[in-house]
Amino acid sequence: MNEFINYETLINKMKYLGLEGFLENLEGISKKINNNEINFIEAIDYLISSQIKFKKDNVYKAAIKVSHFPFIKTMSDFDFDFQPSLNKSQILNFCTLEFLNKNENIIFFGTPGTGKTHLATAIGIEVAKNSKLTYFISCKDLVWQLKKSRSENTLERRLKHFASYSLLIIDEIGHDILNEEESNDLFQLLQMRYEKHSTILTTNYNLPEWSKIFPGNKMSLNAMLDRFLHHSHLITINGPSYRTKEVSQYLSAIEN
Task: Indicate the pTM of the whole model.
Answer: 0.80
Q: Tell me what pLDDT residue 63 has.
A: 87
Instruction: Say what the pLDDT of residue 81 is.
Output: 93
**Chain segment 78-90, per-residue pLDDT in tens:** 999 999 999 999 9
Per-residue pLDDT tens over the stretch 24-79: 888 888 888 888 888 988 988 988 988 888 888 888 888 899 999 999 999 999 99
Q: Report the distance separating Cα 19 and Cα 5, nearest Å.
A: 19
> What is the rounded distance in angstroms from the CA atom of residue 19 to the CA atom of residue 27?
14
Q: Which residues in the chain show pLDDT less than 70?
A: 1-5, 242-256
> What integer pLDDT is reported at residue 227 of this predicted model?
86
pLDDT at 1: 38
The confidence score (pLDDT) of residue 213 equals 92
DSSP the chain: -HHHHHHHHHHHHHHHHT-HHHHHHHHHHHHHHHTTSS-HHHHHHHHHHHHHHHHHHHHHHHHHHHHT-SS---GGG--GGG-TTS-HHHHHHHTTTHHHHTT-EEEEEESTTSSHHHHHHHHHHHHHHTT--EEEEEHHHHHHHHHHHHHTT-HHHHHHHHHT-SEEEEEEETSS---HHHHHHHHHHHHHHTTTSEEEEEESS-GGGHHHHSTT-HHHHHHHHHHHGGGEEEEEE-S--HHHHHHHHHHHHHH-
Whole-number pLDDT of residue 237: 95
